[in-house]
Structure 1
Amino acid sequence: MGVLTVISTFASLSLIANGALVRVADFGTNPTSLQMNINVPSKLAAKPAIILALHGCGGTGEQYAQMTKYNTLSEQKGFITIFPSTKKDNNCWEVNTAKGLSRDAGGDNQGLASMIKYTISKYTADATKVFVTGTSSGCMMTNVMMATYPDLFAAASCYSGVAAGCLAGSPGASPQSADPACANGQKVKTAAEWGVIVKAMYPGYNGSYPRLATWHGTSDTFVHYKNLAEMLKEWSGLMGVEFTKNATDVPQSGYTQMVYGDGTKLVAYSAKGVGHTVPVHEADDLVWFGL
């Protein structure tokens, strides 16, 4: 047995000992063959909350679990985490196709919704405390989940992504394979135009949309900073809130919090000098989620 194999085996055993991710094979409708990885903490809360955490392009759910602190916080607070994986288009989420931008139409989003429904049922989780977050492509899918399954989620957080529908019709879901206009911040629309796009993803829906806290770096050249403005136009219009104020050095030096309305539905964080991607702020996410 080689040294790398020993290290890998030890790491795997450590993960198991720490109650980390477990693969779920059959969680319901899964049209794009996603992998479901779940972490159920040793001290599970009564009617636990759920966080669906979505990796970026080239990543996996297992890697995103190790990169972030959600599982550690889960052990402290008793919520369940789901770290799914997609294996197509450079492991980028399907945020560009007609089926992927529709409800129950056979896209990645339908499989992700199945994971949520399975977890609520199996663990008697609190359906009013389901949250979604993600980085880069995961942030893009977070926006799509908000648009196509708004009734499943109470709130969302999002790091360095684009508005729901920005990549619609693109030949690929990743910045490398997609029409670069979206990633370069050249898909500029009004709030009303974005609203029409989102409404078309779930026709007839008249309910509220999940609360959103979104983060973007001013020096992001991979998914251009201009995309933050488009995302804010999209959701401020749908939520019926307008920009209110900026708060400098929140939550840390060099970050500016952009508040919409009374700050309970939509906030953004502009990270000065930060590229792709903004580091995940798990503690701030939990405050936003009310956990």
Structure 2
Amino acid sequence: MTETPENQTRQKLLEIFSLANMDSLPAMSDHVTELISLLGSSRATAQDVADTILKDYSLTTRILQVVNSAYYSRGTPVSTISRAITVVGFDTLRQIAAAMALFEEFIRTGTEKDEIAGIFTMSLISATQSRIYCELKKNRISPEEAYVCSLLHKLGKLVVLVYLPAQYQAIEQEMQKGYSEEHSNRLVLKGLTYSQIGREISTFWNFSKRIVDCMDTSPPNPEKSKDSFLFLQNLVVFSNTLTSAFFNGTKLELADLIYKFGGMFEIGQEEALTLVDRSLAVCENYSRAMRDGLDKIQKGRSSQVTVSKDSSGRWIRVN
């Protein structure tokens, strides 16, 4: 019987993870998987989410810190998850919970804490951009679905960093020679890419097919008003690429990004940069670790711009 491409990918993954003395693909803790599932479920209730959060003391503490931050707080201290749902809203709390649960999981498991914080922070900024964009444009895409799909778009990269740090460093060394990330992936990971690994791992972790398919890095353009899911896939790529271009890109890369996606999303360069700025303001309030992450992502491999705050506290690109 001929092996399917999916089976071949799984076999390559098992071979790669065997290098880290793992005889199977890595498992994610039950409460994180449950939260991701609740995030994508229209049937989930506020009590479902609260009960899942309360299973993890550290996660509960982190979420209460976020809700009591200056960005979300209304002046009255929040001491319970049920009260947090009332203050920030059910959908927002589900997003915060999923983000913080994933971050806690990877930090707890991985050894490269600073690098993990940097990559996850960029994913969080991208997710927030997608959500804000959908809220502003009032399109047919659910802001919540755009958020979680953008957050998990680079899951494969995080998985390699957390569970296979030696392979991750080998990829970084190839990129320092001038090779693209995809070419460097294939050189080190037996022909696989971060995207393929993310799709395979997220399928193993029982994430929804829509989340899995949004890990595609080159989706086709949607036909006008005919395919909202293709629009979502492209938005996920745009948001993640915009974050990378903002912190580690050149003016030309930013211009090329707007040229490619500007018409599709009816967005110009200034509006795109404002979108990043608004996202940063939200993400800074998640935790001290997230603020530290913002510092880490400024130390990119080939950054040709500097990102800092101006006198008003706004994040700007300084060339």
**When the two structures are superposed, what TM-score results if normalisation uses the length of structure 2?**
0.28
Greater Rg, structure 1 or structure 2?
2
Higher strand share: 1
**When the two structures are superposed, what TM-score results if normalisation uses the length of structure 1?**
0.30
